[in-house]
Amino acid sequence: MGKIQFKYHPNIYEDDVLVHKSGICQCCGKQISEYIEHIYSAEDDDCICLQCVSDGTAAQKFDAEFVSWAEPVSDPEK
């Protein structure tokens, strides 16, 4: 299984936000072996699988933005 590419954060695998522990994704409910922590400043939900983050499911579910590491974009559709 290849690594998921993050459009706004291509170096995510080199940063500390990726946690390699088992847990349950609080977005899709799947059991996961690695997840992203501390990406939503306004929510306590801190166990989000990579898939939910990369496809936007997490952002929609929690109505949150990746305020801590999202790059400013000029494209209004983003």
Q: Rule CB under 5 A: which residues touch Zn ion?
A: 25, 27-28, 49, 52
Nearer to Zn ion by C-beta: 28 or 70? 28
Do residues 40 and 46 lie in contact, with contact meaning Cβ atoms separated by under 8 Å?
A: yes
Nearer to Zn ion by C-beta: 38 or 73? 38
Tokens found for residue 70 = 């999202």
In whole angstroms, give the CA distance from residue 71 to residue 78.
11
Q: How far is the CB of 37 from Zn ion (least distance, A)?
A: 13
Q: How far is the CB of 61 from Zn ion (least distance, A)?
A: 9
